Each structure stands twice: as C-alpha cells, then as structure tokens.
Amino acid sequence: VFYAMNIKEDSDPAKYLQDNGYTFKLMLNADATMDAYGVLGTPVVFVVDRSHKVTFRRIPDTSDEAVKVSVQEAIDAALKQR
C-alpha cells in the first residue's frame, strides 16, 4: 500500500492528487506521524514491512536510481514475509 502524507500544507492535496492522476491513499494532517518518524523535510520515502518495521528510508541526496533499486529490494523482501 502506498500513502501520500500531507504535512504543513495549506493547499488542497486531494485535488492535487486527482488532477495529476495519482491513485494512492492520502493521509491528511500527517504532521504527528512524520514527527514520529523524524522527518525534517520532504520529499521522503519509507518502506514499512508487515510488522510495521521501517526497512528503507531515503537518505538525502541519494540518486533517484539508487532509491528505485533500494525501494524495490525492500518491497520484495516485505512481500516474502507473507
């Protein structure tokens, strides 16, 4: 499951997702959630497994290609937990 988290925004995030064809779930007012994960800025990417363990967190200045590879590896590992 993929989520977008709306933090510290005053625009309409649901409209933005709809206008741009994004279909993932949106968590409104997710500031407390992001604070709990120590997020200081955006964009940020996490992969969380079925046991709610963070198995990947994007490190700032990581290339998009490296993120794609790492996210896919984390997703593959999480799916094997079935």
DSSP 7: -
68 CB-side CA count, 13 A: 3
The chain-wide mean pLDDT, for the chain, equals 86
DSSP 8: S
Helices (H), 2-44: 13-19, 31-36
CA distance 17 to 1: 16
36's enclosing H/E stretch is helix 31-36
Indicate the pTM of the whole model.
0.68
Of the chain, the percentage scoring pLDDT greater than 90 comes to: 18
Digit-coded pLDDT (tens) for 8-39: 777 888 898 899 998 888 888 888 888 888 88
